[in-house]
C-alpha cells in the first residue's frame, strides 16, 4: 500500500468516527476554542471574561425596551442572547450598557463595549469607522393606518390624492420621502414619533409614516387600533457594529447569527421575530443556501 493510500484510509477512518456525532465540536471546549483565535482577538478576551458586554438602548420597541419586570427585551436583545448562547451555552451571560444612539460608535471605538446591537443602519460612512456584522433585519418606511378608517389601505390612500394626509417625523427629506409613494399627499412633519402616531390616533391624518418594524409591532399588539396599509419602501439594513481589525470576532458573530437565522439553532431568533413582528420568519428548507 502506498503512503498516499494509507493516509487516505486513515483520514476516512477518522471521518467515520465523526459522522452524526459531532465529536470534534463536542471535544472542543469554549476555552480551548478560544486558544485558536488570534491572541489579540476580542473573541478570546470575551471567553476569558465569561460574559458579553453589549451596548444597546432601552426605549425603542420592538428593538430594545423594558418589560413589566424592568428587564431589557426586544429584537436587539434577542440577538445579544444568541451570541451569549453561542459563546457560553448560556443566553443570560450578557452585561447591557444602556447608551444613547450617539454613543453607538464611540463606545465601540474606545472599547467600552464588545458590540453595539441597537437598530443601527448600515452606511458606507459608518463603515469607515466600525465593522458591520451581517444584517439581521431589513428595515423600511411604512404607513400605519386605522382599521376603522375607509382609507386604511395604500390603494385608498393613493386614490385620496391631495386629500390624503400623512404625518411623519420632522426631517429634511421627510416630505420628499412620503411623496415617493404618495405624490399628492399633504405631509405634516412633527417633532416626535409619539406625536406622529398621536396625529393618527386623533384622526388628524389618514396615515403615519413610521418604520416598518413599528407598524408590525403595533398591529401585532393592538390590531383593533392600528392597521398596516400594505405599503413599505426605502429599505435599510440593520446590523451590529464592532471595532475594526478583528476578523476572528467578526467571523464568530456572523457564523453564530447565520446558524440562528438560517440553520438548526433558531429557537431564540424565530421566537423573537414572531413576538415582536407578529409573524413567523421566512421558512428555510434544506437545499440551496439562502444566507
pLDDT at res. 279? 87
Percentage, residues of the chain above pLDDT 70 = 87
pLDDT at res. 2? 53
pLDDT band at 3 (very low <50, low <70, confident <90, very high): low
In this structure, the answer to whether residues 55 and 126 fall within a common structural domain is yes
For residues 129-142, average pLDDT:
97
In this structure, the answer to whether residues 40 and 125 fall within a common structural domain is yes
SS3 of residue 12 by DSSP: helix
Tell me the pLDDT tens digit for each residue of 13-38: 444 444 444 444 444 565 555 556 67
In this structure, the answer to whether residues 36 and 77 fall within a common structural domain is yes
In this structure, the answer to whether residues 36 and 126 fall within a common structural domain is yes
In this structure, the answer to whether residues 178 and 201 fall within a common structural domain is yes
pLDDT at res. 285? 78
Asked if the structure places residue 287 within a domain, the reply is no
Distance of CA 278 to the CA centre of its chain: 15
Lowest mean pLDDT among 5-9, 144-148, 233-237: 5-9
Asked if the structure places residue 19 within a domain, the reply is no
Asked if the structure places residue 10 within a domain, the reply is no
Query: Domain containing 41: what range?
Result: 30-130+243-277
In this structure, the answer to whether residues 93 and 231 fall within a common structural domain is no
pLDDT at res. 284? 75
Asked if the structure places residue 269 within a domain, the reply is yes
The CATH number of whichever domain residue 79 belongs to comes to 3.40.190.10
pLDDT at res. 282? 80
In this structure, the answer to whether residues 183 and 98 fall within a common structural domain is no
Distance separating alpha carbons of residues 130 and 34, to the nearest angstrom: 23
Residues 6 or more apart whose CB falls under 8 angstroms from that of 276 comprise: 61, 62, 63, 74, 75, 78, 213, 216, 217, 220
Tell me the pLDDT tens digit for each residue of 90-114: 999 999 999 999 999 999 999 999 9
pTM value is 0.84
Asked if the structure places residue 92 within a domain, the reply is yes
Above 60 in pLDDT, residue 225? yes
In this structure, the answer to whether residues 198 and 231 fall within a common structural domain is yes
- Helices (H), ranges, 68-160: 75-88, 104-109, 124-127, 154-159
For residues 53-59, average pLDDT:
96
In this structure, the answer to whether residues 156 and 212 fall within a common structural domain is yes
Amino acid at each position: 500500500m502506498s503512503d498516499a493510500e494509507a493516509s487516505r484510509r486513515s483520514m476516512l477512518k477518522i471521518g467515520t468516527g465523526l459522522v452524526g456525532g459531532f465529536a470534534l465540536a463536542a471535544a472542543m471546549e469554549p476555552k480551548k476554542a478560544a486558544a485558536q483565535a488570534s491572541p489579540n482577538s476580542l473573541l478570546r478576551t470575551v471567553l476569558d471574561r465569561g460574559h458579553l458586554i453589549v451596548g444597546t438602548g432601552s426605549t425603542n420597541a420592538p428593538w430594545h425596551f423594558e418589560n413589566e419586570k424592568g428587564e431589557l427585551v426586544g429584537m436587539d436583545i434577542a440577538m445579544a442572547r444568541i451570541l451569549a448562547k453561542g459563546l457560553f451555552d448560556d443566553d443570560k451571560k450578557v452585561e447591557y450598557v444602556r447608551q444613547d444612539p450617539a454613543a453607538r460608535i464611540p463606545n465601540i471605538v474606545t472599547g467600552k463595549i464588545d458590540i453595539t446591537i441597537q437598530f443601527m443602519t448600515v452606511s458606507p460612512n459608518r463603515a469607515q469607522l466600525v465593522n458591520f456584522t451581517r444584517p439581521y433585519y431589513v428595515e423600511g418606511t411604512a404607513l400605519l393606518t386605522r382599521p376603522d378608517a375607509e382609507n386604511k389601505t395604500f390603494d385608498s390612500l393613493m386614490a385620496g390624492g391631495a386629500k390624503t394626509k400623512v404625518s411623519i417625523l420632522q426631517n429634511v427629506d421627510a416630505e420628499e420621502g412620503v411623496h415617493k409613494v404618495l405624490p399628492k399627499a399633504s405631509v405634516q412633519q412633527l417633532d416626535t414619533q409619539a406625536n406622529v402616531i398621536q396625529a393618527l390616533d386623533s384622526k388628524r391624518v389618514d396615515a403615519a409614516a413610521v418604520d416598518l418594524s413599528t407598524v408590525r409591532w403595533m398591529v401585532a399588539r393592538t390590531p383593533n387600533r392600528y392597521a398596516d396599509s400594505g405599503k413599505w419602501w426605502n429599505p435599510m439594513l440593520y446590523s451590529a457594529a464592532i471595532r475594526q481589525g478583528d476578523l476572528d470576532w467578526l467571523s464568530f458573530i456572523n457564523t453564530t447569527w447565520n446558524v440562528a437565522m438560517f440553520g438548526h439553532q433558531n429557537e431564540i431568533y424565530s421566537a423573537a421575530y414572531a413576538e415582536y413582528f407578529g409573524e413567523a420568519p421566512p421558512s428555510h428548507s434544506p437545499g440551496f443556501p439562502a444566507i
